[in-house]
C-alpha cells in the first residue's frame, strides 16, 4: 500500500447498463473479481451503487489506478463514464477496503472487514472522518442522502 503523501485517488461516476433482472448476479461478480484484483494490486476504495448509477473511488499507486480506470471506462456494463476528481492525497480514505459496497444513504452502508483474506460484513463499523467526507462527495454526485 502507498505511504502517506503518495496515494493517488480517482473518483468517477457512470450510468449502469445492467438490466434489473441481472443486477444481483452481475454486481456479485463485479465485487468478487474486483476485490481479489484490487487486493493483489494494492488498490483500495468504495463503489456506490444506485438503481441507475455507479460512483467509485479508487486509491493506490497512480499508474495502477489510472490503468484500472482506463479498463473500467471500456466496460460495457456502464456508459457515461465521467472523471470527477483525481490527484495525490495525504492518505487513503478507505485503507481497510479493497472495494466496499456502499449505499446511496448513510444508514445502509455495508461495513466490511477482512477475515483470513476474505471480505465479510461486519456487525458494526465506525466510519472515520475521511471515509465520511469522501462518501459524502460520492453521494452528492447523484443527489443521494448524505451521511
And the C-alpha cell for 12?
Answer: 468517477
* CATH numeric code, 7-141: 3.30.70.100
Name the residue ranges covered by the structural domains of the chain: 7-141
CB within 8 Å of 57: residues ≥ 6 apart: 9, 10, 11, 45, 46, 93, 94, 134, 138
Predicted TM-score (pTM) of the model is 0.76
- d(Cα 72, Cα 47) in Å, to the nearest integer? 12
CB 59 within 8 A of CB 11: no
Match 492525497 to its residue by C-alpha cell.
89
Query: What is the per-residue pLDDT across 31-45, written as a single tens digit (0 to 9) for each?
Result: 888 888 899 999 998
The tens-digit pLDDT sequence of the chain (147 residues) is 544 458 999 999 999 999 989 888 888 888 888 888 899 999 998 888 887 888 999 999 999 999 999 999 999 999 999 999 999 999 998 887 777 666 554 433 444 444 454 544 444 456 777 777 888 888 888 775 433
Span 72-91, pLDDT tens digits: 999 999 999 999 999 999 99
Amino acid at each position: 500500500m502507498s505511504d502517506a503523501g503518495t496515494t493517488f485517488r480517482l473518483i468517477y461516476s457512470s450510468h449502469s447498463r445492467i438490466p434489473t433482472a441481472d443486477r444481483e448476479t452481475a454486481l456479485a461478480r463485479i465485487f468478487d473479481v474486483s476485490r481479489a484484483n484490487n487486493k493483489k494490486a494494492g488498490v483500495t476504495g468504495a463503489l456506490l451503487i444506485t438503481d441507475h448509477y455507479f460512483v467509485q473511488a479508487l486509491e493506490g499507486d497512480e499508474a495502477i489506478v489510472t490503468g484500472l480506470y482506463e479498463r473500467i471506462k471500456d466496460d460495457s456494463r456502464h456508459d457515461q463514464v465521467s472523471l470527477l476528481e483525481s490527484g495525490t492525497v495525504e492518505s487513503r480514505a478507505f485503507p481497510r477496503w479493497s472495494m466496499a459496497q456502499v449505499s446511496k444513504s448513510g444508514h445502509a452502508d455495508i461495513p466490511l472487514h477482512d477475515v483470513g483474506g476474505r471480505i465479510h460484513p461486519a456487525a458494526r463499523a465506525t466510519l472515520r472522518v475521511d471515509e465520511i467526507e469522501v462518501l459524502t462527495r460520492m453521494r452528492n454526485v447523484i443527489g443521494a442522502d448524505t451521511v
